[in-house]
């Protein structure tokens, strides 16, 4: 299986090269030449998470050997990295299946892919005889940063720099990053929002002069964002796992369809669900849940993507995004891999911040995707609602999805809600939802209070923050991100 750019660059690369380079050099994203199809998925029904992982990954990472992939999987999805025996947990509450993806080290769903990406990348470096240092550049809306730092810390031959929007992440998210250990980790606050940080990173990738300068120092760039195929593919696994698990337990029959609802930002998680569907998993509707930055909601309903609107800081900060990178991959597929067309609309987008899709693509989109959105007030309302009803605690992002499902007209299929973060990561807002009091300013006190009310233990990832020192303090302007890299590497 080879990978190609969504924007038509003719050069094909292997899967390990796609993982290594992160992004095609014409500004497009790598896509596999075809999407593998599994005729009958039922053969996997007794498999563990790790075994299913192998069945999925082997279809996409075809130049990795069986042993390489299995070592990556065993290392990533281990008891040490996840505090759930099944890696994910599935809970039936209020008639929905909550797929808890936050039992990894940094207590957000980003661990699902970022526990394995560094391993896939290390193998890719060896496989392609890269005798260079790899510098991972990552923009984060809060959760990717910490998960990537944790995944890449102290790995030989790799450095990682994370850019996060100053003031655009939760206090706990920020503390998790600023206290990061490891001698190869860098954390930089950007004076701007997530889109500024993500654009800055993309520009650095496409800045030829800068890349040559790095190359002269024997450094190449790679990415830990969901633009990297090594992030996307591991996210397919848990949709298969969920379906197989429900079928095996007799909650559904093989062949029954499920709907999947995903709180969406960069369109990575929901795109992985879409790939699962294309691969033969019986998913009916993909429900795209937005917060008040509802650029995707508007797009799905009108066919017009328009980022020219105020960027709103919400209580679900990991979804505060107006430029949803992975949408490009979906449009590439829906257009019949028409890379000329994709290049065209993204050129238009670069100039005007807006594009309108063809009618046939809009029709194809609406066959598979529906969308809803929640403002902060409704989001907090639904946190309290499900807690009062089921004594079940969810975070602000998951609550966006849950609220969207509750307010949607009935669909006949069961719905799986991707539960993307531990409520403790957003403790002030979750507490505000439950008690309607302004937050305490001490996060440990807030966590203790939440634990008392909910009887859910404080996760170690949060608890340990009280003993950790701040190790990073760089702040940069949004147009000087490249300079901050040269400073940090003393170039
Ligand atoms: C990253 C993130 C999202 C959005 O996921 P995308 O793949 O970017 O759409 C939602 N919720 C949480 C908690 C996240 O960390």
Which amino acids are annotated catalytic?
Answer: 110
pTM (predicted TM-score): 0.96
> What is the distance between the alpha carbons of residues 124 and 441, in angstroms, rounded to a whole number?
45
Distance 266 CA to ligand 1 centre (A): 7
pLDDT band (50, 70, 90) for residue 48 = very high
Average pLDDT over residues 333-360: 97
Distance 421 CA to ligand 1 centre (A): 9
- The DSSP symbol for 95 reads T
Token digits of residue 249: 């337990």
CA distances from 351 to 355, 426, 452 (A): 10, 36, 52
Distance between terminal CA atoms of the chain? 38
Does the CA dihedral 154-423-288-291 come out positive or negative?
Answer: negative
CA distances from 149 to 19, 127, 186 (A): 17, 23, 8
165: Cβ below 6 Å to ligand 1?
A: no
Which of 318, 373, 402 best tests ligand 1's pocket when mutated (most atoms within 8 Å of CB)? 318
Length of the chain: 491
Packed helices 376-390 and 427-435: angle between N→C axes, nearest 10 degrees:
70
> 328-342 pLDDT, tens per residue?
999 999 999 999 999
> 55-102 pLDDT, tens per residue?
999 999 999 999 999 999 999 999 999 999 999 999 999 999 999 999
Does residue 382 have a pLDDT over 70? yes
Beta partners for 126?
A: none
Distance 383 CA to ligand 1 centre (A): 18
pLDDT band (50, 70, 90) for residue 439 = low
């Amino acid at each position: 299986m080879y990978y190609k750019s969504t924007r038509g660059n003719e050069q094909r690369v292997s899967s390990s090269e796609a993982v290594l380079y992160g992004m095609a050099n014409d500004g497009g994203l790598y896509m596999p030449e075809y999407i593998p199809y599994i005729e009958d998925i039922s053969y996997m029904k007794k498999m563990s998470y790790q075994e299913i992982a192998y069945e999925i990954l082997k279809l996409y990472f075809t130049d990795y050997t069986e042993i390489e992939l299995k070592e990556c999987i065993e290392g990533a999805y281990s008891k040490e990295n996840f505090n759930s025996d099944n890696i994910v947990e599935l809970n039936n509450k209020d008639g929905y299946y909550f797929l808890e993806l936050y039992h990894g080290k940094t207590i957000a769903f980003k661990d699902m892919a970022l526990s394995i990406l560094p391993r896939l990348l290390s193998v890719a470096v060896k496989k392609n005889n890269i005798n260079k240092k790899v510098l991972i550049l990552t923009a984060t809306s809060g959760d990717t940063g910490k998960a990537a730092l944790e995944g890449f810390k102290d790995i030989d031959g790799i450095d990682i720099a994370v850019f996060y929007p100053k003031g655009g992440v939760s206090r706990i998210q920020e503390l998790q990053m600023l206290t990061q250990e490891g001698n190869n980790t860098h954390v930089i606050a950007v004076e701007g929002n997530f889109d500024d940080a993500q654009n800055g990173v993309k520009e650095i990738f496409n800045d030829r002069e800068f890349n040559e300068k790095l190359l002269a120092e024997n450094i190449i760039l790679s990415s830990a964002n969901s633009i990297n195929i090594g992030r996307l593919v591991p996210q397919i696994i848990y949709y298969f796992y969920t379906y197989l698990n429900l079928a095996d337990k007799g909650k559904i029959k093989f062949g029954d369809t499920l709907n999947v609802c995903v709180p969406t930002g960069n369109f990575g998680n929901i795109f992985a669900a879409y790939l699962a569907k294309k691969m033969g998993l019986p998913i009916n509707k993909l429900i795209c849940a937005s917060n008040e930055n509802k650029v995707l909601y508007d797009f799905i309903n009108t066919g017009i993507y328009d980022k020219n609107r105020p960027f709103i800081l919400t209580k679900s900060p990991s979804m505060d995004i107006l430029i949803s990178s992975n949408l490009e991959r979906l449009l590439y597929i829906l257009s019949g891999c028409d890379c000329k067309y994709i290049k065209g609309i993204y050129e238009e987008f670069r100039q005007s911040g807006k594009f309108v899709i063809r009618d046939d693509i809009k029709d194809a989109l609406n066959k598979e995707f529906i969308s809803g959105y929640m403002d902060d007030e409704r989001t907090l309302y639904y946190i309290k609602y499900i807690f009062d009803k089921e004594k079940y605690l969810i975070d602000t992002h998951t609550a966006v999805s849950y609220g969207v499902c509750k307010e949607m007209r009935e669909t006949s299929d069961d719905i799986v809600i991707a539960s993307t973060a531990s409520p403790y990561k957003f403790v002030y807002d979750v507490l505000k939802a439950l008690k309607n009091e302004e937050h305490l300013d001490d996060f440990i006190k807030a966590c203790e209070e939440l634990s008392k009310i909910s009887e859910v233990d404080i996760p170690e990832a949060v608890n340990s923050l009280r003993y950790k020192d701040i190790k990073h303090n760089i702040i940069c302007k949004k147009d000087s991100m490249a300079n901050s890299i040269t400073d940090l590497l003393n170039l």
